[in-house]
Structure formats: structure tokens, C-alpha cells
Structure 1
Amino acid sequence: MVALLLLLCFFCLQLGAARDTITSSQYVKDPDAIVSAGNKFKLGFFSPVNSTNRYVGIWFSSFTPITRVWVANRNKPLNDSSGVMTISGDGNLVVLNGQKETLWSSNVSNGVSNSSARLMDDGNLVLRDIGSGNRLWESFQEPSDTMITNMRLTAKVRTGEKTLLSSWRSPSDPSIGTFSVGIDPVRIPQCFIWNHSHPIYRTGPWNGQVFIGIPGMNSVNINGFDIEQDGNGTFTLILNSANESYIGSFVLSYDGNFNELYWDYGKEEWVYVGRLPNDECDVYGKCGSFGICNAKYSPICSCMKGFEPKDADEWNSRNWTSGCVRRRPMQCERIQYGGEPGKEDGFLKLRTVKVPDFADRSLAVSEQTCRENCMNNCSCIAYAYYTGIRCMLWWENLTDIRKFPSGGADLYVRLAYSELDNRTTSMKVIIGLTVVVGAIISAICVFCMWRRIAHYRERKKRSMKILLDESMMQDDLNQAKLPLLSLPKLVAATNNFDIANKLGQGGFGPVYKGRLPDGQEIAVKRLSRASGQGLEEFMNEVVVISKLQHRNLVRLLGCCVEGEEKMLVYEYMPNKSLDAFLFDPLRKQLLDWNKRFDIVDGICRGLLYLHRDSRLKIIHRDLKASNILLDENLNPKISDFGMARIFGGNEDQANTIRVVGTYGYMSPEYAIQGRFSEKSDVFSFGVLLLEIASGRKNTSFYDCEQVSSLIGFAWKSWNEGNIGAIVDPVISNPSFEVEVFRCINIGLLCVQELARDRPTISTVISMLNSEIVDLPAPKQSAFAERFSYLDKESSEQNKQRYSINNVSITALEAR
């Protein structure tokens, strides 16, 4: 009896282990299906809409309507429900009909006798050798019409082989259609949509982060493309995602559109983001050679300056495919045909355009060298210089150019000298200008001599001050025991502070991404000479943060002080700051309530450490969404301690005549009286908590007649019993409603007008974790209502008089 039970248990375990796996003995027969281990994808038989044919496909298991991401027997459907997917005798994965005929096979030439196929949680069907565990084949190598996370499209320069997405023939016919999508790496890597072999759209060149022909494409998107290259000339286009909760896909439709979709958990439906081509100007070669397409103009096509339509009748009938031709020959052509050389050619600058197809990359390291290389070669007809790509040269007719409102690149087109704007000036004007300029130069010379003497005295004074400052800073840095990094080391790490490595700009100055020789990624905050913050804030941040160690505080790795250069070196945060997600209509979708609550909890624990648990009691004084950085897992880290103050052991509050911080986050007692304490940070945290729950900036209500801020809106909605109006629709979910409403209650408790009424941060943590079950009702919030005596006319005047500025206030005299 015991043996029988053990046999049954073993049999059940085998069945459970095989629910995501196909073997020769455990096959999938219509209408059965297998499901990936995490229940994310399903493989089975299906019939398209308006069709009775049967196919084997993979789709998202828990989303409706069903969205197929891969189809096996696309060109050989089953006409009944007798189909089976199994492992054949030669180890291949096959689809068989009722007569055991093979309709589809993985076609592994070096197959093995003992193999199995498993459906992975990323939607990839993988065939392996059971003995060695080696991958023999995978569905990601033979994609259908859909690209999902971790899928790869490859192209081999040497052989010309490509892995492509291919469209369905129609909504009811998944057989291979006429459209395909893939990467073309022959010159500079870029992606195309082809109709058969004819291009109908291209992305423009890849600059290492984005395709420069797609306006608004952002390299910091959580879900986005990347291109890798190996040493054998193989280029791979990869769809990445740093957030597992984000489900997105790119689908090539049967009519040639490449659509981007993502799953909206709140609406429980697929949401359309955009498509390519997006308009008529996206169509490849719409305006022919040397034509420019501008979707805002009518007609949309025009010839470049110095060019005219090749066929005027076709052009006037809005058939622009024949393109444009030059009006005047260039210098090289004139010499070739025995004409006078004339003056040297020049370049016409076309701003913010999609650069033409057929660009060649040059080794020129500067824009000036790029220009000279083109000018010195008679065959070169245009050039462009773009960060990440550098020099691009064109030797053929310029095709597929369009004008963008912003973004794109600047293109320089070679023209005959006579086609450029070279206006001659009359002799009288020249003489008049000479007299005027001479008088101005004389006055300038006198002024410069006077200023030179003043500057010499100022430089001498400043040099003495720098030497004194450096001496004081060295003493403080030695006490802080912080590593000092040399200026040449940071210049090399950031590629000489290349604009391509710039992460952002704050009140302190610009922040750059860098990489140290050991491979460690860093963020370098460089004090701007124009910054309102200076030596005091720099040293304050060094002294404060160097003594702090907590998982929710950004880590300071070192600093650099050389001459007038002052830099702080932090650990690199790949997802930038919280405001980049929270206030972005698309990226906020990645922050579900669970993730937002984790961020709130992390900020609280960082503040608790600052206020109570660290050796030093620290008041941050500038807590806001842009000062909350997010690591690769979206964990929060409090940053920017330039305004922080260290309290003594028995000190609870302090006064200052120099109020620093950001409007909208400052507590009333601090903004008006210069008095700050733990409760000042609690107020700022309350504003931040309301922003996280609502997905709106505190200042986004500036033009509202009813309330002046998010605090006012939340207070008004609370009193009216309409708390749901505060909640961000992205996280509006009945299962989280109680928890979200509780957080809004806590946020209103934190922004109460009187500091004594606000909870401490330790109490806030107890409230968030429901250790304190019954929350008190909040009292009057600070800055909640507009002044009642202001009439409509006064309100309108105020709107014209004041404006919102999101920069930090670094020096403000308190009233």
C-alpha cells in the first residue's frame, strides 16, 4: 500500500513538473495547453478571428482579449482539431496533423535523441538537450509579428542574414505577410520597416542611446531598445525592461504599422502608445531626392534651398517621388566640364531634421574636422556631426529628410557659392561702418585699460581667497576622512564632461555620469560658478553625508577640490529621481501602489535615521521629489544635503535669517519666521506623500480659482468626503483603497498648520505600518485656501504678477 502511494505521489510530481514542458511522451494535443512556471504565458492551439483554421501559438495567459506573441505553423494551418505539438524522433519540436504529417518543425540539423521544450516566463519557447542542458533552438530566434521584453532581432554584416519580425497577412490569417521589421547595420545601425524589400520607414541612425530619427525617444525609459555588437560583425536589437511589472509589446500589423502597446493594470486593457510610421512625412522617401517633408506645411514637400523640382508637372500634382535637382553646379563640376572655378562652395545648414539615408561614419573627432573632410572631397555632398555618432558624410543623393519641430540633428548641405546668402556691401556703407567701428574701438580700448587694472587687483584678491578656502577645506576634508579624487581622473571618467553624459542640472550645478577605471559607475556633481550655492553648501554636504550610512541615503564616494573646481562624487542612480517617474504620464504607469508605498516607507526610514538613529541629528530642509533618487530596483535614496543642518544633542529647533529650500515644500513657520525643526522635514514629507498618492505636483493648481496648491485641493476634498478625487487614476484600485486613503490622512496630518500638531517621523512610520490603528482627523492644513478678501480682479492681477519656478531657493531673507 505504501509503495502504491509513493508511486502515485511520484506520478503527480511528474505531472506538476511537466505543465510548462513538452517531451516525446508529454505532448500538447488540441485543445490542451501548457503554462509557464510563473503563469505569465500559455502555449496551445487557437483559431484567429473569423477563421476555423487551427494554429499553435503563445500568448499572455492572464490578459484578455488574448494577444498572440508567436505562431508556429503560420503557413501550414490545421483544418481540424487533430493537431499535436511534440518532440520527434530526431529531437526536433514539431507540429503534426491527424495523419502524422509534419506541418512545422524547429529544423535543428544537429538534433539529439533526448530533448525537451520548455515555455519560459518571458514567453520564449526553448528546446534543450536533456543530457547537456544546451539550447538547441528557441522561439525568440524565429519571431512572428510581435516583439516582447528580452526578444532580440539580429543582423550579420558579413553574411547579410537577418532575424526579422514579419506581419500577418490579415487579421484572420497569420501566414507571413508582406511587411517586416529589422535592423540594418551596413553603414550606421538603424531600423527599417520593409514592404517586401522596399523600405517604407526608417528610424534614423543609432547614437548609442536612441535612434535620432525618432523625436522624443528617451534613453532613460524603463522599457526601451538597445543595440549590441559583437566582434564578428553581428548587431543585435534588444527590447529591455528594468521593471518586471511593466508589460509592453511592439506589434507589426498586417497593414505595415509598428504599434507600441502596454498593459494598463488599472483599466485592465491594452493601451495604445504610438505607431510608426506616424504621419505622411514618416513614409520613406516621401519627397524624393533633395526634398524635405514638413508635416506642418501644405503642401508637405518642398525642395531644399538651391534645388528645384526635377519634374515640375509631377511636383505640382503632388507626386513628389521624382525629387529635386541642383540649380547651380558645384565648383568641382564646373572645373570638370571646363568652366570657371569661381568661388569655393559653402554649406547650407538645415536645423532639427531627420538626417538622410545612406550615411557613412567618418573617423573625424570634431565638427570642424568633419566639415573639412567633406569640403576637401568633391564627392561629398553633405555632412552632420552628432554626439554618440560623431561625423556622418553623404556621397549619394539625399533621401528621406523631414523637418522636426525639435530634436533631430543639424544637416549641412553643400551648395554653390552663388546659392548662399552672400550679400555685397557698397563702398559707402563700408566707409561709414569703418568710421563708426573705429570710434567704438577707441572707446573700448580706453575702457579695457581701466578694466584691466581693476581685474588685476580682483584676481590677486581672489587668488588669496582661493588659497585660504583650499586650506580650510583640506582641514575639513581630513576630518571627514573622505577620499579625494583628482580632477584629471574625473575628466577622464566623464569624457571631459561630455554633454552626452549630462544627467541633469540642479541649483548646485550640472550632474554628469562617469565610469572609473575599475568599471564603477558614478555621478559627478560639479559646482557651477554661476550657482547661488558655494563653498558653505559644498562643505556642509561633505561633512554631513560623509558621516551617514543608511540604505535610503545616497552614498558619497569622494570629492574633488582643485583651484576653483569643487565636485562631489556619488554612487550612480540609473533611474534618476522620483519626479521623473511620478509626474510623467507614461512612466508613472510603472509605479503601482505597492511600489509607491515601498518608496514612501524607504523615505520615512531615511528620515528616521537622520532625525533619531544617526550619531548626528540632521534636518534636511530641502526634501522634495527631485531629491529622492531611485536605484535600479526603484528603491528610494534621499540626496542633496547642501542645505542640511546638524542639531546638538539637546537642540530641538533653530532659527535662521537665511531661509533655504523649495517653495511648496517649506513649512509655514520656516518660510515666514525662519524657524525649523524635525517638524519642518515632516511637513515636506507630507507634501511629498500627497504627491505620491495623487501623481500631481503641489504647484500644479496654481491657476485654479478654488485652491492654490495640492495641499488645498486635498484639504478641500477631505472635508467634502471626496477622498477618491485625490487618488492618482493609475493606482485607483479597490483592493488598495483603504491603504491609499490612510496615506492621504497621514499626509494631511503632516501638513497641519501648527508644527506641534504634526506627528514625528517615528509616529508616521507606526501609522503607515498600522501599528497605530485609529488615525486622528487632520486639523487645518497650511496654505490650504486662498485669502477670502481677494476678489476676482485681484486674483487675476496676482496671476499676471507672479510665476512658478521649480528651482531651489538658496538665499531668502525671512520676514
Structure 2
Amino acid sequence: MMNRQGSISIGVLLFLLSWRMCASDDRLVLGKALSPGTTLVSDGGAFTMGFFSPSDSNNSSLYLGIWYSSLPKLTVVWVADQSSPITDHPSSSLASTLSLNNDSNLVLSDATGRVLWTTNITVGAPASPSSVLSSSVAVLLNTGNLVIRSREGTTLWQSFDHPGNAFLPGMKLGMNYRTHSGARIVSWKSASDPLLGSFAFGADPARPLQMIIWNGSRVYWRSSPWTGYMVDSNYQKGGGESAIYTAVVNTDEEIYASFTLSDGAPPMQYLMSYSGDVELQSWSNDSSKWVTFAKYPPRECSTFNYCGAFGYCDSSSTDAASSTCRCIEGFEPTSGAEWSNGNFSQGCRRKEPVRCADGFVGLPGMKMPDGYTFVPNRSFEECATGCIRDCSCVAYAYANLSSSAKKDSTRCLVWSGELIDMEKVAGSWGDFGETLYLRLAGAGRGPKTSAVKYALPTHMRHSTAILQGLFGCKELAVKRLSIGSKQGIVEFRNEVLLIAKLQHRNLVRLVGCCMERDEKLLMYEYLPNKSLDATLFNNTRKSVLDWTLRFKIVKGISRGLLYLHQDSRLTIIHRDLKASNILLDSEMNPKISDFGMARIFGDNQEQANTKQVVGT
């Protein structure tokens, strides 16, 4: 006869088992199966999981998938059985099922019991029958992520690690540095056929700093290498204004991108389309359809190596139809006839052979070429010097990945041989352009061939000058005062005399000057991260300014001001201190510039009168 304690134990067991069988509609537990006609709905109602047949298709197969719950148009974001769809006979009394088995795996079986798909995870089997009470559970989250959790709460498997054709908020797309493995989104065979298509999008295993669209095993499109931005924000209009925030995380273990949406934003996703484009889509309630805001590749000549070696896609025009291929400076089409007919595959060739003694020119606003070699632990100067001294080095580029969590936050890239898959970016794409330093015949051989490029259409034009001389190449920033500038000869001389007498790490260093007729040039040390305002007021670049870096910049500016006001041989008031007059070096150290409006005080002078309003 069973005692009272045994009766209570059996009662609790039966109660818990019955509770688990009737568990929430967002999960599967041991003993509960999902079959055609039944669904799981996430807690919050955003996503549904179940069986579906493709709409507008002759495909009679049945698929297990996850889709948006509230949209009037069926939009599936994940499919389990893309390789082995269900083909149950309609007259069969048996049905396909998805169930969670004893070893914590989800198993999809057809009506005959044949396994079509499984999660293939390996965990220890339950130690005893009583452990069934705390076995694993599969839960559909409100993000669209299907998660299997152990009895201790550990995530054993999740669909976000094995995505479908959609990159969703909260999903990670990147690469593990050790295993060179990472998730990819894969296209469908067609718009209505969930069978695996030929296009995939993910991080490049060989060069994880860039993303790739593959067509089978061939590269179809490639992004430029990551420049170090931590968060990028884009604002979209469609059924109301909303924002999408893209974040990049880089550690010693992995690098990945993910994105989130602003509160109240409509559903948004990146779709790997069957035609080969990665499309940023947002659901429009006004038109009841998906609206595409951006796509990659953005234009025909953006596809991989479309312009051939040493050619680039000129996308400086906002009109995609007017985009075409051009040769970079110092090069000409290899075949003029084919180039004129729109066949750019043979690319470009040098007009003049390059020699080891030749210097480098800076090509701003460029999507970096493919085939680079990453050189770790190099400062900007070390990166440049290494390429200059190596006669086989054709080009180099540098970025400070200050937002990276890796011990080495430098990014020195060097190229040898042909440069392929380049693009001149502008407009919203210009934020992702960088300066490529190219070894060019004649550069640095003398004053007549020194490369000086003016880039900013303001009264203070900053540019890069590559000069050689007895001591090799020297990279400078040139400030040119236009003829109509309010900064006249007095201010020009004032700036030269002041900066020449000042020496501080947070003040820009003057290297030389030139004044002839109406031309007035000042040559400074080159600061690759431009002015502070170019970072503060740029949606892409400002993401690098985390609190630690902002505090570092504030302290540097303060040290420079303290030196001017108190510690220098002269007491100087700048009178035009603003973000555009704070320049940033390769390590994001601030340097105060533009002393045209500055005033010198006497040794015991504490106040002075001004005759006019100056500054901004």
C-alpha cells in the first residue's frame, strides 16, 4: 500500500506533466508537438511559427517557418526545411510534426516518420526519469528568434545563428576570428519558392572586416573594410519617421554587426533577395507593402571588380544611371576601344612605370580595394613607412578602430600587385569613403610633380600634400586662403608668427608657409581624422565618440587652452574656438588650430578692448 508521501509525489508529478503539456503557446516542451494547423505565437505577438505553403506558387510542398504575425501579407523570415520540404499526401491520415525529443533536439518528421530536419545539438541525456520535469524547452521569442534552453536556462541552440533570408533586429552577422565561421543570410530560389537560392550575405572569412554577397562560390559584391564606427544611425520615412541603429562590435574573439529600431518603428529587415540584392526594407502601413530604402550593390558598376584592375566605379553622382568606370590618377584604359564600348573588364594600366623612389598620392573618398593584407600593431606613421620602404607595396590605408574592444585597435592595410573593386563614393555613401595612398610615378620627385589636392570648398581648404626631398616623403595638410577670404595679410602673418612660437601637443604644428601675390598657403602637420565638427555632426562618424573618447578630447582641448592662457611664453586668447578649429590626429588626440583671430596680451595685462566682433 502506498504511503501518503508517495501519493503526494505522484500527484505533483502528474500535475507538473499536465502543466507542461498545456504550456504557453510560445513554446514546445517534451510531449507537445507542432503539426499543420497549429502554431506557436511569441509572447508579445510579433511572430508566429507554423507550417505554410508558398503563396502564388505551383510549389505544393509544405514548409516549417517563422513569419510576422500582424502583417496582411505573409512574410516568412526563417524556414527550417529549405533543403527537404514536406510532401505529405493530402489523403494521408498522418501529419508532419515538430517535436522536442529527450536529447533536447527539435526534430521535424514527415507523415511516415522520416526525419527532414533537426537542430543537431549534443547535450547529455537526462540522468533519470525525474529529470524530465526540468528538461529543455523551445521558445519562440518576440524578436523572431527560436531558442532551445536547457533546464538550467543555458541557450543550446537558436535560429538567429542559422538565419534564413532575413537579417532581423537583434541578430548578429559576423565572423569568429578563431574558427572563421559566421552566420549568413541566404536567398530563396524565387520570390515565392523557399528552396535555397544561389545568393548569400555575410562576413568575409579571409578578411572579416568586410562583408560579401556571394553568387554560389563567386563574389558578387563586397563592402569596404570597417572604418571603426561603432554605431550608425539612419532615419527613414514611411508610415511615420523611424530610425535604425546599426552597431559593430569587434573583440579579440569575434566581429559582428547588429541593428535595433527606434520605439514605435514599423517592422524593418535586411532581405537577401533571390535576384542578388541585399535590401533594407520597412513595412508601410499606408501602402500595405514592403518599401525598399537602400540596396547593395547600389548600382551596376558597384558589383565586384566591374571596372577591372586600377579602375573604379564613379558614384559621385546621385544618379545611379550616370555612374560609370574611370581610371585612377596616373592610369589610362588598357583598351581604349573596349572602354568606349562600355566593356571595362580589362581595367587600366599605368601611364608611366613606377619606381621604388616614387612617392604616394592620396585618393580621398574611396571604397578600399580588395586583396589587402592586414598589418597589426601599426600607427599611421609606421603603416606609411612600412609601405614606403617596401618597393612591392602599391598602396596603403589606415584607420584607428578606437571603438574596438580588441587590444590592438589599429587598422593598417597594404596592397601589392593590382588594385581591384574600387569605388569613388559620395553623398550618403561618402561617409564610408577613405583616403587610399597610392604609389604613383613622379610623385615626390620635385616641386613640379608634388601632388596637392584641395578638397573642401571653403575659405579654409584643407588638403593633403605628398612631398619627398632629402628625407623622403612627408605628408602635410595645406590650408589655402581664398582671395575673397576675410582673413587678410594681417591675420595671415599673425597666425604664422603665433604658431611658430608655440609648442604644445594639443596645438597644431606649423611646418611652413607660402605667400605670393594673392595666394596665401599654410602647411601643417597632417591630421587624418579631420576636424571635430566633421565627426560630431556626421551620423556615421559621430558613433566613434563614446564617453571615454569625448572626455579625452575635452581634456586635450583644455590642456591646450591652459597652455595658451597661462603656461606659454605669450599670453594668448584664441577668440575663435569652435569644433571646426579642433583637428584630430590618428589617435583622436585634439589639436587647436586657426590662430588668425588670436590676440596677444602683455605680461601683466588682464583685459583688453576689441574694436569689432570676431569669430563665429
TM-score, structure 2 normalization: 0.63
Structure-1 separation of matches of 2:119 and 2:545 = 48
Alignment-derived partner of residue 131 in structure 2 = none
Alignment-derived partner of residue 417 in structure 1 = 442
Partner-residue secondary structure (3-state), 1:331:
coil
Structure-2 separation of matches of 1:120 and 1:239 = 17
**Greater C-alpha Rg:** 1
Alignment-derived partner of residue 18 in structure 1 = 24
Structure-1 separation of matches of 2:387 and 2:350 = 18
5+ residue gaps in structure 1?
A: 1-5, 333-343, 426-445, 460-495, 506-510, 530-558, 567-808
For the pair 1:277 / 2:297, whether they are aligned, the reply is yes
Alignment-derived partner of residue 318 in structure 1 = 342
Alignment-derived partner of residue 616 in structure 1 = none
In percent, how many aligned pairs have the same letter? 30
CA contact (8 A) 2:212 2:221 kept: yes
Alignment-derived partner of residue 761 in structure 1 = none
Say which of 157, 181, 187 aligns to 2:201: 181
Structure-2 separation of matches of 1:366 and 1:226 = 25
CA contact (8 A) 2:268 2:282 kept: yes
TM-score, structure 1 normalization: 0.49
Q: What letter is aligned with 1:126?
A: V
Q: What letter is aligned with 2:325?
A: C
Alignment-derived partner of residue 98 in structure 1 = 111
For the pair 1:302 / 2:320, whether they are aligned, the reply is no
Alignment-derived partner of residue 536 in structure 2 = 503
For the pair 1:78 / 2:99, whether they are aligned, the reply is no
1:689-714, CA deviations, whole angstroms, 9 ceiling, x for partnerless residues?
Answer: xxxxxxxxxxxxxxxxxxxxxxxxxx
1:119-167, CA deviations, whole angstroms, 9 ceiling, x for partnerless residues?
Answer: 111111111223x332221111111110101112242334332321111
Report the structure, 1 or 2, having the larger strand content.
Answer: 2
Alignment-derived partner of residue 273 in structure 2 = 253
Structure 1 residue 225, shift from structure 2 partner? 2.9
Say which of 532, 547, 551 aligns to 1:514: 547
Alignment-derived partner of residue 719 in structure 1 = none
Alignment-derived partner of residue 53 in structure 1 = 61
CA contact (8 A) 1:501 1:512 kept: no
Query: Cα–Cα, structure 1 residues 301 and 420, in superposed 2: closer, same or farther, change >3 Å?
Result: farther
Partner-residue secondary structure (3-state), 2:386:
helix
Partner-residue secondary structure (3-state), 1:17:
coil
Report the structure, 1 or 2, having the larger helix content.
Answer: 1
Q: Aligned Cα RMSD in Å? A: 4.5
Structure 1 residue 187, shift from structure 2 partner? 3.9
Say which of 136, 157, 178 aligns to 1:115: 136
Structure 1 residue 264, shift from structure 2 partner? 4.0
Partner-residue secondary structure (3-state), 1:140:
helix
Query: Cα–Cα, structure 1 residues 422 and 312, in superposed 2: closer, same or farther, change >3 Å?
Result: farther
Q: What letter is aligned with 1:79?
A: T
CA contact (8 A) 2:367 2:425 kept: yes
CA contact (8 A) 2:360 2:444 kept: no
CA contact (8 A) 1:180 1:252 kept: yes
Partner-residue secondary structure (3-state), 2:339:
helix
Matches within 5 A, 1:5-404: 17-49=23-55, 50=57, 51-80=59-88, 82-110=95-123, 112=125, 114-130=135-151, 132-184=152-204, 186-187=206-207, 189-209=209-229, 222-231=243-252, 233-241=253-261, 243=263, 245=265, 247-264=267-284, 269-295=289-315, 296=317, 300-332=324-356, 344-362=357-375, 367-388=380-401, 391-404=412-425
Structure 1 residue 42, shift from structure 2 partner? 0.6
CA contact (8 A) 1:355 1:409 kept: yes
1:574-601, CA deviations, whole angstroms, 9 ceiling, x for partnerless residues?
Answer: xxxxxxxxxxxxxxxxxxxxxxxxxxxx
Structure-2 separation of matches of 1:266 and 1:23 = 40
Alignment-derived partner of residue 604 in structure 1 = none
Structure-2 separation of matches of 1:110 and 1:393 = 45
Structure-1 separation of matches of 2:265 and 2:39 = 24
Query: Cα–Cα, structure 1 residues 313 and 112, in superposed 2: closer, same or farther, change >3 Å?
Result: farther
Matches within 5 A, 1:452-491: none
Query: Cα–Cα, structure 1 residues 7 and 417, in superposed 2: closer, same or farther, change >3 Å?
Result: closer
Matches within 5 A, 1:798-809: none
Structure-2 separation of matches of 1:61 and 1:53 = 22
Matches within 5 A, 1:768-807: none
Structure 1 residue 241, shift from structure 2 partner? 3.9
CA contact (8 A) 1:363 1:391 kept: yes
Structure 1 residue 392, shift from structure 2 partner? 2.7
5+ residue gaps in structure 2?
A: 1-11, 127-134, 237-241, 402-409, 451-488, 503-528, 539-543, 567-612
CA contact (8 A) 2:442 2:449 kept: no
CA contact (8 A) 1:346 1:420 kept: yes
Structure-2 separation of matches of 1:355 and 1:362 = 15
CA contact (8 A) 1:352 1:409 kept: yes
1:172-193, CA deviations, whole angstroms, 9 ceiling, x for partnerless residues?
Answer: 3212211111112644611111
CA contact (8 A) 1:41 1:59 kept: yes
